[in-house]
Every structure is written in structure tokens, then in C-alpha cells.
Chains A and B, each alone.
Chain A
Amino acid sequence: MSEKIVISPTSRQEGHAELVMEVDDEGIVTKGRYFSITPVRGLEKIVTGKAPETAPVITQRICGVCPIPHTLASVEAMDDSLDIEVPKAGRQLRELILAAHHVNSHAIHQFLIAADFVPENLMAAAINSVSEVRKTAQYVVDMVGGEGIHPSEIRIGGMADNISELARKKLYARLKQLKPKLDEHVDLIIGLVADKGLPEGLGVHNQPTLATHQIYGDRNEFDLERFTEIMPESWYDDPEVAKRACSTIPLYDGVNVEVGPRARAVEYKGFNERGVVAQHVARALEQKTALSRAITILDELDTSAPARADFDITGTNKLGVGAIEGPRGMDVHMAQVANGKTQFYSALVPTTWNIPTMGPATEGFHHEFGPHVIRAYDPCLSCATHVMVVDDEDRSIIKNEMVRL
């Protein structure tokens, strides 16, 4: 006899989603479906028809959890559409912000999963450790990006300003100081995850990984030709789920994929572990990679060099692509600019890629482990939503043939 276990909404994540699991008599998941029920944002429609500079400012508001990747993906898409060559210092500062953001954002996730892994007697120490890591990482984002949440300095063409030599030296010194602290923090997290003794193979799936760069993102590694997108009703075989799911299903080479820290580790660091534990480990190790990258950039940065290119906003309607590796995975923004206005805008965001992979990843284990599998992806739903609920009574979403936001 099969029973349905529904967790709605799934907790300790950003946005709202539902996990529906069909289980057998033992409570083992035979079919897992995960889908977004977050109301649509429609930001891509808002920026269309406006000046290109509007896009990064508006689209960074897609989400308060990863505003940095969205800002970067947006300016990168615009840079590409307008054929702008970003000066070296501008590119370095952008990567510096993102590296710091990775350290910070992963630490937030470690706070969110603390209740799953940290015993009572270590809770205070773990939370303090998270806070300390975040404080220094956010200091970098604040200083270089202008604001810790919605960075005002990241602009089309580069960065509004380079930083001063004083700022460079301070940031360098603080990140150097953070290094031993972060090493300890990462050891703590990896140790705690191991101590939990999750069942072997939990969350393992056979889908491919997708990433464009170890830290920053590279549009040349994202092949638009290999990408397709289908509507939820052609993906979910449960009609109840299909009609309420609020995100489209992106496929690469016709299949669903995994993006995020583990995907990057697989693609660029020869990492071959899979499943929940591997995801937490890859995420923690990535904090170290990001920190050393940030330190290297600060060491090499020429603070007297220009950080922003001059450019003309007219545009030729070229389809510009910005591919940024957000903490939760690859974030692609696409833009076309002509006559000085954005003609087309589309965001293909990290969790959207993971959604179709996450549900099936719960299969084969007791449903009580379902939430563990979901949280291992650090899902963030608010940017993922791209279709609209049309009927508030039965919560069915807009029809395929209608406007896609």
C-alpha cells in the first residue's frame, strides 16, 4: 500500500516549496516530487523596456539571500549584450565580492542546518563560529560592493570605483586573520556532519552536474544550444503537483542536473563523492577555496587601475549572457539591448536547476530523511518562480501557452 507524505512548506530554506513523497509500507520513499509554491516575482518583465542600468538594480532584489550573484549575472549579461570589455581591476573586484559572498552565504546555510547536525552542547560554539566567519566575509562585501545586501558598486562595465590602498590592506589583513578561523570552522562542520551518521548513499542520484567555473562563472562554459526548458505539467507525472508547481523545468542535454558547490567540485576539483554528506562537505571546502581566492585577488589588485570601462548603451540587440556561480549554483541572466533599452530579459537561476533533481534524490530511503536531502541543496525558491498562480482557490498555475514571467 502506498501512502503520500507531504511536507508543506519545507523549512529552513528561502521561499516556499513542497515535498511530496510516496512511501511504501516501511515508509521508504518510492517517488519524490519537490516543487516551488512561491508566488511569482515577475522582475524580468519589470526591467524590460527600461534603461539597461535598471536591470542589475531591480534583479538584485529577486532575492535577499543571493543578491550578489544576481547583480553580477545581470551586469555580465549587459556587458555581453553591449560588447563591453571589463577592465582587469573591475573583473577582480567582482570576483572578490563573489568569493566573499560564497564564504558568507555558505555560513548562513550552516546555521540553517545546525539543528540537524549540532548537538546541544556545541550549539553555541557552532553559531559563534558562523557569526565570526560571516562578519569578516560581509565586511568585504560591504567595503567593495558598497552594501552588504544590495551592492551599489557593481555596475555595467565593471565597478563604480576601485578601492583605496588603505581598504585593500585592511581587507587583506582581515582575510588572512580569518584563514585559521575558517579552517577550524570547516573542520567543525565536516566533523559534525560525519558524526551524524546519515545512512550511506542518502541523496545519491545519477544526474549530471553543471558548473561553469570554480568560483566566478564563465559564460563560455554555458552552451545555450544545449539548454531547453519545459513547463511543470510536462515534467511532474502527478497532475495535482503539476498544476501547482510554480517553476519551469530547465534541462541541459535534455536531462535535469545538479548545480552548486558539489557540482563545481566535481567539474573543477576532481571531487567524486555524491549525496547529502558530499554536498555539505563540498560546500564547506568551497569556503576555503573562496577565501584563498579572495586573498590572492587582494594581493594582486592594483588599486590605481581603472575599474570601469566607458561604454555606449545603445546596443545592437545582441543576446548577452551572464553566467555566475552563485553559492547555490549557476545563475544565468540573459539580456538583449537595443535603442538604449532592454528588449528582452530572462533569468535562469540556481535552484530552478536543482528542483527537478531534488525530489527523486529522496527516493530509496525513509521519508524522515527527506528534509535532509532537500536542505543539502540549500534551496532558495524566491528567484526560481517563473509561472503564476491563476486560481487562488485550487492554486493552479498559469497555462503553458500563456505568458511566462
Chain B
Amino acid sequence: MVLGTYKEIVSARATDKEIQNVSQDGGIVTGLLAYALDEKIIEGAVVAGPGEEFWKPEPMVAMTADEIIAAAGTKYTFSPNVMMLKKAVRQYGIEKLGTVAIPCQTMGIRKTQSYPFGVRFLADKIKLLVGIYCMENFPFASLQTFISEKMGIDPTLVEKMDIGKGKFWVYTQDDVFNIPLKETHGYEQDGCNVCLDYTCELADLATGSVGSPDGWSTVITRTEDGNSIFQQAVETGVFETKDMANVKPGLDLLEKLAAQKKDKNQKTIDKRKEMGLPVPY
């Protein structure tokens, strides 16, 4: 299945205005982690917090809703959240942990749960793994380069970045800029070209913008836990939802992009194999 195993797919957004204002799309990640914290399903969460350098995130152990909200928004460069998980269950004393991760990180996390070398006592403490869709990610220097050199924008003025409708978007206080996504090709990290997972197939629940209207997210619930936590949050009024059949552009687009990523990158994998190069699968 091109979208992985799942229980349900809906379009949703957080009802809280504060979350809507700061989040990237429908505020699903922030809303759900804050809800889980509130309900004591988790005691804290590892998120991509603000770092010392503008737009360069630092993994952070958030133990309050305010800290989770402060980390909202997509940063299009690596935030090594996986590294912080162990610290969260050690020095931070968290025994029920939540986190957010892109697909490759999610694979890493699931692997550490199966083979806990160097990460003893972590596996059973991860209670909620919220996955986000990912087509590619950029090393920090790449990101800076194409924003400042190709788009001609001072990176310190950037308020938000986004990918959508085939373009890379940059929002400053007064303006919106974009370049076609193909202009960013070659700047992504090399590993992204052999990555087959678009919709974070191993998460408890995965979300991204694709498929839903602006300000809304497409939510795929995957595990029993992911599904039940999300349903509870919807019932409590944390999220409002719409049937995927009634939203534009709809599920077709998500399926199309997920399939494209698999096809294109499988070709790269085959080519690498042919040349005798290593691939991580």
C-alpha cells in the first residue's frame, strides 16, 4: 500500500487559535502532543526547538504545553530528535515519552526499539510517535545558500518556510517569495534520494499538509494507540475534522506523491545497486 498500513485518514486542524497561529499546517503535531501531555499520556516530548542560529533547530525536551508550542512550525533542516530521546528518559526522568519525527528518524526510532544497543530502557517508554510526511530535507548550509543566493533573501528575515504546489515558499514580515522546487534539487541531502517513505509509515500517527486545504492537515492514524489518542482528542474538541472525500485536493494527491517518491527513489536505489554502491535497504 502506497500510504502504508493505517486505520483512518481524515483532514483535521487544531481548534485552538494560539496553535493555529504558530503551527505549520493544521497544528496536529503541536495540538496532539499538548493534549497528550495534558492527559498525562506522556510526561514530556522531544521536539525540534529553536536553536542558537536562526532556523537551525535544536532537539529539545518539552515538559510543558508552552514549550511544545514554542517548537511549532517546520524547519527544513535536520533536527536530530532521536539523539535526545535517551536523555529524555534519563536526566529528564520521563517514563512516558512523546516525540515528532520525519520518516527516516521514525525508522531509526523503531529500530532502536527492536535492537536497543546503547539505548537500554528506551523502547517501552516511547508512548506517542507523531510522524510528519517528508519528501526531502536540506543540510543547513544548503538551505541558507538557496535562500540567500537563489532567492536573494536575508535568512534572518525569514518568518516561515513551506513547500507546496510545486514550490518552495519563504514568508517574511511583508512579503512572500517562492522558487520552483526543481531549483532546490541537488541541495537536498543525498540520502533522501534513496528514501522510500513519504508518509511516515512506521509512526503511531502521521500528518502533513498534502491532500488538505491550506491551514488543514491530512492525518493518517496507524497504530491502536495513535488512533485512540487522536480520536479522544477529536472528541474532546482539540481537533475539528472533515471527511477526506469532501476536501480538495484530496487523497489522490497524497497517494500520487507517495507513489512518485517510491518510484523515483527505487530507480535511484536500483541504479546504485547496479554500480555496486551501498544502499541502506
Residues of A within 8 A of B (CB): 142-144, 146-148, 153, 161-164, 166-171
Flag B233-275 by CB within 8 Å of A: 1 or 0 each: 0000000000000000000000000000000000000000000
11 extra interface residue pairs, beta carbon distance < 8 Å, beyond A143-B91, A164-B91: A162-B91, A163-B91, A163-B92, A164-B63, A164-B92, A164-B93, A166-B93, A167-B93, A168-B93, A169-B93, A171-B93
Q: B7 at the A/B interface (Cβ < 8 Å)?
A: no
Contact partners of B86 in chain A: CB under 8 A: 146
CB distance from A313 to the nearest CB of B (A): 23
Q: Which residue of B lies closest to A143 (CB)?
A: B90
Contact partners of A144 in chain B: CB under 8 A: 90-91
Contact partners of B92 in chain A: CB under 8 A: 163-164, 166-167
Q: Which residue of A lies closest to B44 (CB)?
A: A166
A166 B63 Cβ-Cβ under 8 A: yes
**How many angstroms between the C-alpha atoms of A323 and B121 in the bound complex?**
31
**How many angstroms between the C-alpha atoms of A161 and B95 in the bound complex?**
18
**How many angstroms between the C-alpha atoms of A171 and B91 in the bound complex?**
11
CB distance from A104 to the nearest CB of B (A): 15
CB distance from B115 to the nearest CB of A (A): 16
**How many angstroms between the C-alpha atoms of A277 and B63 in the bound complex?**
49
A161 B91 Cβ-Cβ under 8 A: yes
CB distance from B116 to the nearest CB of A (A): 12
User: Which residues in chain B, 153-189, are within 8 Å of chain A measured between CB atoms?
Assistant: none
B94 A166 Cβ-Cβ under 8 A: yes
Total contacts A to B, CB within 8 angstroms? 42
Select the residue from A142, A153, A167 with max chain B CB neighbours within 10 A: A167
Contact partners of A164 in chain B: CB under 8 A: 61, 63, 91-93
CB distance from A266 to the nearest CB of B (A): 36
Contact partners of B95 in chain A: CB under 8 A: 170
**How many angstroms between the C-alpha atoms of A146 and B119 in the bound complex?**
10
Contact partners of A171 in chain B: CB under 8 A: 93
Contact partners of B94 in chain A: CB under 8 A: 166
CB distance from B40 to the nearest CB of A (A): 12
Contact partners of A142 in chain B: CB under 8 A: 90, 120-121
Q: B43 at the A/B interface (Cβ < 8 Å)?
A: yes
Contact partners of A167 in chain B: CB under 8 A: 90-93
Flag B75-109 by CB within 8 Å of A: 1 or 0 each: 00000000000110011111100000000000000
Select one of A146, A148, A169 contacting B91, CB under 8 A: A146
**How many angstroms between the C-alpha atoms of A171 and B92 in the bound complex?**
11
Select one of A146, A162, A169 contacting B90, CB under 8 A: A146
Given contacts A164-B63, A166-B43, contact A153 B91 (CB under 8 A): yes
Select the residue from B86, B91, B120 with max chain A CB neighbours within 10 A: B91
Q: How many residues of B contact A (CB 8 A)?
A: 14
Contact partners of A146 in chain B: CB under 8 A: 86-87, 90-91
Show 16 residue pairs from A and B whose CB-CB distance is below 8 angstroms, ordered by the A residue.
A142-B120, A143-B93, A144-B90, A144-B91, A146-B86, A146-B87, A146-B91, A147-B120, A148-B120, A153-B90, A161-B87, A163-B91, A164-B61, A164-B92, A166-B92, A171-B93
Contact partners of B90 in chain A: CB under 8 A: 142-144, 146, 153, 167
Contact partners of B44 in chain A: CB under 8 A: 166
**How many angstroms between the C-alpha atoms of A197 and B145 in the bound complex?**
80
**How many angstroms between the C-alpha atoms of A162 and B93 in the bound complex?**
11
Contact partners of A170 in chain B: CB under 8 A: 93, 95
Q: Which residue of B lies closest to A145 (CB)?
A: B90
User: Which residues in chain B, 15-55, are within 8 Å of chain A measured between CB atoms?
Assistant: 43-44
Contact partners of B43 in chain A: CB under 8 A: 166
Q: Which residue of B lies closest to A153 (CB)?
A: B91
Contact partners of A143 in chain B: CB under 8 A: 90-91, 93
**How many angstroms between the C-alpha atoms of A138 and B92 in the bound complex?**
16
Q: Which residue of A lies closest to B61 (CB)?
A: A164
Q: Which residue of B lies closest to A150 (CB)?
A: B118
Select one of B93, B120, B121 contacting A163, CB under 8 A: B93
**How many angstroms between the C-alpha atoms of A153 and B120 in the bound complex?**
15
Contact partners of A169 in chain B: CB under 8 A: 93
**How many angstroms between the C-alpha atoms of A272 and B92 in the bound complex?**
43
Contact partners of B63 in chain A: CB under 8 A: 164, 166
CB distance from A160 to the nearest CB of B (A): 8
Q: Which residue of A lies closest to B95 (CB)?
A: A170
Contact partners of A148 in chain B: CB under 8 A: 120
**How many angstroms between the C-alpha atoms of A33 and B87 in the bound complex?**
47
Select the residue from B63, B87, B93, B95 with max chain A CB neighbours within 10 A: B93
Contact partners of A161 in chain B: CB under 8 A: 87, 91
Q: Which residue of B lies closest to A147 (CB)?
A: B120
Contact partners of A163 in chain B: CB under 8 A: 91-93
**How many angstroms between the C-alpha atoms of A161 and B84 in the bound complex?**
13
**How many angstroms between the C-alpha atoms of A161 and B86 in the bound complex?**
13
CB distance from A373 to the nearest CB of B (A): 36
CB distance from A258 to the nearest CB of B (A): 35
CB distance from B44 to the nearest CB of A (A): 8
Kindly list the 10 A-B residue pairs having the minimum CB-CB distance in the complex, ordered from nearest: A167-B93, A166-B93, A164-B92, A161-B91, A163-B91, A170-B93, A143-B90, A146-B90, A164-B93, A167-B92
**How many angstroms between the C-alpha atoms of A69 and B16 in the bound complex?**
51
CB distance from A57 to the nearest CB of B (A): 14
Q: Which residue of A lies closest to B88 (CB)?
A: A164
Contact partners of A166 in chain B: CB under 8 A: 43-44, 63, 92-94
**How many angstroms between the C-alpha atoms of A160 and B120 in the bound complex?**
19
CB distance from A397 to the nearest CB of B (A): 36
**How many angstroms between the C-alpha atoms of A162 and B95 in the bound complex?**
18
User: Which residues in chain B, 104-140, are within 8 Å of chain A measured between CB atoms?
Assistant: 120-121
**How many angstroms between the C-alpha atoms of A228 and B43 in the bound complex?**
54
CB distance from B94 to the nearest CB of A (A): 7
